[in-house]
Amino acid sequence: MRRVTNISICKGIAIILMVMAHAEAPGWLCHFIFEFHMPLFFITAGYFFSLKYLDDVATFIKKRIKGLYWPFVKWSVFFLIIHNWMFDIGILNEQYGNETGGVTHPYTWHQIQQNLWNIFTAMGGYDQFLCGAFWFFRGLFVASILYLFLYKVLNLCVSKVPKLSPKSVPYLICLVMLLLCGWKTYERLNVITLVQGGYRDMMGCFFFGCGFIFRHHVDKYRQFISLRHVHLLTTIIFGAIVYLFSVYLIANMNWRSTFTQFLSLPIPALLGFLMTYNISLWIDRHQGWLRQSLIYIGEHTLYIFIFHICAYKVVSLLKIWYYGLDIRQIGCHMVIHDYSQQDWFWVAYTIAGVGLPLAFYWLQKQVTDKMKRLRATTAE
């Protein structure tokens, strides 16, 4: 599918919001962001789903393995290898951890082996304090393949019912996933074959399907918001509704979500996507550094997912120096909690969390390109 720059801008905004929330931005802002930022990634992924894969499942799965499973395995193993070394140099320690008081520990040889097995067989076993966002790789991997499977099954079933149109299949998938997630959360059930019980993967499938549906109505939607003042008005209304949910009916894609939180999630998540989509359309119409920057960020979210927590450590060193804190607080997950709701270090964390991974990618690409040119010159 052709490059869709406004969707890249959507993804760019979403990854910045994710880094911002992980940086312990002010509570009201974090609650607002959590309502929709992760569903947005599943929606934008579903936007590009193609029905051609119904007859070419192998190609689709190969692409998912290459784009999601392999990066997950490669970097999870890397962080597994350096986990104990992080304790030796002080990046991790057993005194400081997350906001709830949980800490991480060096792995025994047995734990290393078990985590290695979990990484390959279940897309689990990743370092929670250095790879806290890695659940998304598994979530999208499972959600997208599950969506393809359900589409094939329901498409076959619908073809045998004269009164049902094949166009109803995407809506049936979303309905099925909502019902299953409602059942799961109401009865506190778990999919024992999926790490964390499967809620994120199943809700991810629902939002993936919403993205596919949206793409088929995007022209009508864009025509609607092109009317005078409608674009601005809908953006404000969507944002206001999301904010009200974040105050009175807080929800996110937490794997331990209750039934009430499940009920509270779809509306602000979908409206948050539409709000972001409206903003991305406006940005996409205006040439300049903001548009180009967000497109670039949106097309390189992988590196930010992988390295933003590591990048935080640079700012943590600065914060330790500024407040005269215990140097071991660099081990806080994801950022240093002291004064986090009083100062503006979350801005610095956000800039570093986005900028440093992209700088690493740019540097890596420069080296790789130079080596390719060198090899080509040598071959001549």
Question: What string of pLDDT tens digits covers the 380 residues of the chain?
Answer: 457 899 999 999 999 999 999 999 999 999 999 999 999 999 999 999 999 999 999 999 999 999 999 999 999 999 999 999 999 999 999 999 998 889 999 999 999 999 999 999 999 999 999 999 999 999 999 999 999 999 999 999 998 888 888 899 999 999 999 999 999 999 999 999 999 999 999 999 999 999 999 999 999 999 999 998 999 999 999 999 999 999 999 999 999 999 999 999 999 999 999 999 999 999 999 999 999 999 999 999 999 999 999 999 999 999 999 999 999 999 999 999 999 999 999 999 999 999 999 999 999 999 988 888 888 787 76
Cβ neighbourhood burial of 346 (10 Å; 0-12, 13-18, 19+): buried
Return the sign of the alpha-carbon dihedral for residues 341, 344, 350, 356: negative
**Letter for the amino acid at 310?**
C
CA distance 237 to 187: 34
Q: Say which residues have a Cβ less than 8 Å from residue 242's Cβ, sequence separation at least 6.
A: 32, 35, 36, 268, 271, 272, 275
Please provide the size of the chain in residues.
Answer: 380
Q: Alpha carbon 17 to chain centroid distance?
A: 10
In 3-state terms, what secondary structure has residue 320?
Answer: helix
- Least Cα distance to 134 among 119, 116, 114 occurs for 119
DSSP letter assigned to residue 108: P
Q: Where are the domains of the chain?
A: 5-379
Q: Say which residues have a Cβ less than 8 Å from residue 285's Cβ, sequence separation at least 6.
A: none
pLDDT of residue 374: 84
Tokens read off for 367: 């080296």
pLDDT of residue 380: 67
pLDDT of residue 292: 96
Give start and end residues of each alpha helix (H) in 160-300. 169-187, 199-225, 230-248, 259-264, 266-284, 289-298
Return the sign of the alpha-carbon dihedral for residues 49, 54, 60, 61: positive
Contact between residue 114 and residue 125 where contact means Cβ atoms under 8 Å apart: yes
CA distance 283 to 300: 18
Maximum CA pair distance of the chain? Answer: 72
What is the chain's percent helix, strand, coil content, to nearest 5? 75, 0, 25
pLDDT of residue 335: 97
pTM for this one? 0.95
CA distance 96 to 272: 34
